[in-house]
Amino acid sequence: MQINTNFLTKSWLSKAVFLTLLASGFSACSPRTEQPDLVAVPTSQATVTVTATPAAPQPTTTVVVTATPQVVTTVVPTEPITDVLVITNANKQTLVNRPVRFSNVNVQSVVGDRTFWVGSSTTQRVFVVLAPNLDAGSIENKVVVKPGQTLDLAGVLKPVPSVQQAQKQWKGLTAAEAQGLKNQIIYLEANQISFKQS
């Protein structure tokens, strides 16, 4: 019996190729621990397209990544608020820490040694607290605020403390006044005051 060696060689090679392809298929399906190379193409748009090209012959995967906006802190000089109506008509929580510079504002009423209301009426007014530097030493005797006076004031808007803290910090404030302040949300801490001559 004559054996065809050509047939055996071809058969053996076919089986080897088949086993190699089978092994490659299994390895392609098994989870890979290595990460494919990523190529990022920067663009001026908000979306970046990233193409992953693995080393093994597999289909190319395209992933779309949305760029996360960068948070940049910029200090922008804020113009001072110059009108009481801007404060009374605004969302007061957005005004915390804003500078204020009032000219020729009227004192509506005086609540305590360091506290008073300024504005054009009982509905259009701002609560003012003199900063500690205006209520110390020899300055304390010179800074006497009275109803009906016209003032120039400068300072910063601060959040109103709790009713108990307000009464403790600002002497002369009644419980009803402290409760009413809670609705004001903010007050002006004045660090400059100037009295106008009548």
Determine the pLDDT at residue 83: 93
Average pLDDT value over all residues in the chain: 74
Q: Mapped to the 3 state alphabet, what secondary structure does 151-198 carry?
A: EEEEEEEEECCCHHHHHHHCCCCCHHHHHHHHCCCEEEEEEEEEECCC
Q: What is the CATH number of domain 84-195?
A: 2.40.50.140
Burial class from Cβ neighbours inside 10 Å (0-12, 13-18, 19+) for residue 74 reads exposed
Domain limits, the chain: 35-74, 84-195
Tokens of 88: 């009374």
Determine the pLDDT at residue 44: 44
CA dist 20 → 10, 16, 134 (Å)? 15, 6, 90
Asked if residue 188 has pLDDT above 90, the reply is yes
Instruction: Report the C-alpha gap between 109 and 19 in whole angstroms.
Output: 97
Determine the pLDDT at residue 20: 58
Helix (H, G, I), strand (E, B) or coil at 78: coil
The pLDDT tens digits of the residues spanning 73-98 come to 554 557 899 999 999 998 988 999 99
Range from 27-31, 32-36, 136-140 carrying the lowest mean pLDDT:
32-36
Asked if residue 168 has pLDDT above 70, the reply is yes
Asked if residue 189 has pLDDT above 90, the reply is yes
Determine the pLDDT at residue 179: 84
